[in-house]
Amino acid sequence: MKKEYGYFEDEGRAYVVTTPYPPSSFENNLFNDEYRVALNQRMEGESIRMAPNFANDKHKNGDNHFYATYNGKPYILCRGNGQSYRCEHRLYQTELTERFEDFEVSVRMFVPVKGKREIWTMKVTNLGKTQAEIGTFAAFPFAKMTMQCEARGDAQGRFIYRTGLPGYHKYDDYEKFKAQICFDYVISNIKPTSYECNRLRFFGCDYAEGMPAAVVNGKCINGSFEQDWVAPLGVTHHAFTLAAGESASVSFQIGRTATMDEMYEIADNFPNVEEELDALKALWEQRCSVLTVETPDTELNYLTNYWLKRQLAYFTRLNRGGTYCPIRNQLQDYLGFAILDPDFALERTIRILERQDFNGHIKQYYNTDGAPEWGLCLMRHSDACIWLILCTIEVVEKTGDASVYDRLVGYKDSPICESILTHLFKAARYMATQMGEHGLCLMLDGDWNDPVNGPGRKGKGESGWNSMAFSYALDRLLAIRPDEYLAGVRDRLKESINEHLWDGEWYAAGINDDGIPYGVHTDEEAQKFLNTQTWSIISGVATGERLEKVVNTIETMKSPFGYRLIDPPFTKYNPIWGRVSAKQPGTTENGSVYCHSVMFKILGDCLRGDGEDAYSTMMAMLPTNPDHDPTWTRQIPIYYSNYYFGYPSENFGYSSLHYRTGTVAWHFWVLLEYMIGFHAGATTGIEIKPCLPKAWDHVKVTRRYGGKTYVLTIENGQTELVEQ
């Protein structure tokens, strides 16, 4: 791909950004199970505490600033003002290096394996021919300012901290909030030469736009911040006298403690930075080693072997970075993550099963922190049971142990514990009661497509996607244990889909509360809905001539970036469809290339044996596609975005820059098990059924499954599977 803004290095393990000013913020998501930072190419990024319950509590603002002085001359760092600039993102760290005429400086940050903290290191090297006085300034802004807060350096100048009473209103809350007083800190391994806690005093009148007054003066004034309503920050200044060619470095830990004593403990026993970093590297090496893929497409390998694993781990371990999330997102993340870490995926899946009602129903949206329900949590979505069946089956299958289906799990509203398989059959039987007058699944307030909240708001509308996906879920469930009643439900459902949703060239999106099909050729807008075409293939509903017509219809929805979800998009509000029609044309579900739904299309391609279509569709959507590089999409090519703007306009082809998407989990599932065809399951064993493009004359996969490591080689159509 073009290298205007960056390139992969070290066999894909690193992505190097070559400018501080790319088309968008080229962020690297660094995290552990308690803490996360999205750090961009200028070393800026908010710090968020995630524990407990994915709390999403901002710890530090994102506008970090770094400066240096060389023999009294001030320099702004991380802005490309030197002779060279290089920002290197890796799975575990980001390091920015700049070279100036007389010195070189690097700024590095990582989030350790454990703890609500981050570690920074600044290193300077004297490139001059004589001894030089070099100073470093690192400014870290604290978050959540209130009039009850203060920021100070400790009496010995060993660290800077911000503390105070959180904001409160009710008189009776004082004692409760007083107990929450804690200490946000910046602690360095070397005592600062000077420090500052007041933003205005440090920056002066330019307030971060130009060279700070303190840097121009060559030192801070060791001032505290005391309730003058200027946002506090922690600035440390370190002065070094360096011989020609000599280097010096200083490291910082940023975090939170409950007491002053804990801060002194950290200052007295500052972490061994390189040991912490080595442990982090080892963790990511272990995570990446469970699956490696070699195909003729180098950058597809880079994404699969490194960056998408990190994106999926972030989703799975941190609930996509927040407390507000539908279980369909969680379950699909676990579906993909089970290929990499089946035990962890199973543990998280069981948490979801425990939210199921004894009658089989499970609610779609909830808050992980127990906060009052709001927004989508108040809606009656109809698809949760479907995802519970599909994804739980995949997670259990990836454990390699069929007895896991017999594991006992409780319910949300009952003390009774029943097997995982019983939970799934109850979900299926509950769904079998949720049928409309045409024999299709009810829509209620929305299915997979949340914004389609109009057709079923009166409780009568029926969803085409629900019906097809439930049919497929029943196929998967009945393959584990036959059930005559549910087999009958499935067969009648498929008949109803073909009787009531076929529109001559494609399948309708559904039938609204008034019994009128929508997503059909007579509609002025949104005539075609991608999901009911792709899932008619996945579910096996479309056969013969209808299958051919569906495939042809899908091709009419094609763009250079993939396939549009709705075609044509809404340009005005449509009360039948609801909220989706109020969205801007070509954005999100209203006609964008919605990457998650395009993955459904790729699975359908594989199931009908078309490796060429599957491959071309995946390559069109990949962020590394050389035909739409960051010059066009504006996105750093190390993650799948949620969507691309779908219709010709000045934004056509732009990435949404939205990191959270179900595409990633489906990438691993579809690429590994359907395109490459390395299927592994507890009840099916290992099956090799490739569906490859002709251009792939060689594929090699190393995969850990069931406590063993397997190497699959596909060479010119010949397959070989070896257990290591």
Which amino acids are annotated catalytic?
Answer: 450
**Three-point CA angle 198, 202, 206, nearest 5°:** 115
Tokens representing residue 492 in the block = 């009648």
Q: Kindly give, in sequence order, each residue whose CB lies less than 8 Å from that of residue 32, ignoring residues fewer than 6 positions away.
A: 111, 112, 113, 114, 115
C-alpha distances out from residue 658 to 91, 158, 594, Å: 19, 40, 11
Tokens representing residue 279 in the block = 């442990």
Residue 24 φ/ψ, nearest 5 degrees: -145, 180
Rounded Cα distance between 305 and 204, Å, is 47
Rounded Cα distance between 273 and 469, Å, is 50
DSSP 283-333: HHHHHHHTEEEE-S-HHHHHIIIIIHHHHHHHHHHHGGGSSEEEHHHHHHH
Rounded Cα distance between 704 and 471, Å, is 31
H-helix or E-strand spanning residue 37: strand 35-39
* Residue for token pair 């995969």: 703
DSSP 626: G
* Residue for token pair 């996906």: 469
Sheet holding 47-49, edge to edge: 28-31, 35-39, 47-49, 57-60
Residue 74 CB coordination number (10 Å): 17
Rounded Cα distance between 410 and 420, Å, is 9
* Cα-trace Rg, the chain: 28
Rounded Cα distance between 534 and 536, Å, is 5
State how beta strands 718-723 and 149-153 pair: unpaired
Rounded Cα distance between 608 and 593, Å, is 22
Sheet holding 718-723, edge to edge: 291-294, 698-705, 708-715, 718-723
> Which CB contacts under 8 angstroms, 24+ apart, belong to 270-274?
270/187, 270/189, 271/112, 271/119, 273/119, 273/121, 273/189
Rounded Cα distance between 556 and 547, Å, is 15
State how beta strands 35-39 and 14-17 pair: unpaired
H-helix or E-strand spanning residue 29: strand 28-31
Rounded Cα distance between 714 and 718, Å, is 5
